[in-house]
Structure 1
């Protein structure tokens, strides 16, 4: 049970969905941000952006967000959850591009502290072909997920344990986007 009464059935509106519904005045811009960062017209592929969200959420130990964005990434990747699990376990050994690996190193630094993003990390990402926009977007996705993870866990929201819930949610988000999920 959430720390506050969100006025919703937590099994129907688990994780971030309950607080977004509870406070539409803040929920709407948060959904817009998620839509822009994860599905909008950015140069990084949507699957890579979802992997960044899942990776950071895993580092933050946010069960709901990690499970949700892992499922979203898996639904977009030919390799599915196997690749997501490998990335989450260790981006250094996962079978991903060197550019994505470098961007995940930046995302991990952001998760620890924005000040952990060093010139060396940025230069390494550039060396692997990352543009300044992709570096910017990676930092923003990682920072936004640190905020959302703390929002979800700080309110003590319910996280379903059944992977089927996240698979169904992934199909819905892929078909209608984030704006239409609450």
Structure 2
């Protein structure tokens, strides 16, 4: 029961503080799942985030569903998805009924403008953490080159991120398979010696 309560609290905080939709929620999900509750490692979260980005639908609910399932099975998944969706729906109904009367107030516009840089910084910090992990795994040169190529493919050539992530996953699987074959050959050679 404690796990379900922890899932509820973690994803309720994310739903209440995740300004800017799914992308703005990603750093909050990372903070709760990796740093606070330690349900998974940074590497696992990065893998899940990459896979979730290739699938259709809202990123926050996909992450909530998978993480809830991983932590506590079907009921954990249901708990995480519902607590991610329901508070937002209720707030939308309540706020939209009153927003039309206050949307032009100076302090409302100021609040919205002040939150945008905070979300940007949170995403930048998460990006730096992933970049740093990539440097540890591949080195500065390869990580920098890949970053430039990916940037060009995404923003200059207009390749869809899902296609790019899918291609990179296939390339990683092919590389892993070749590495495993090479390791098997080395073991055979050593046994033959």
Same fold (TM over 0.5): no
Rg bigger for which structure? 2
Query: By percentage of residues, which structure has more helix?
Result: 2
Q: Which has the higher contact order (CA 8 A, sep 6+)?
A: 1
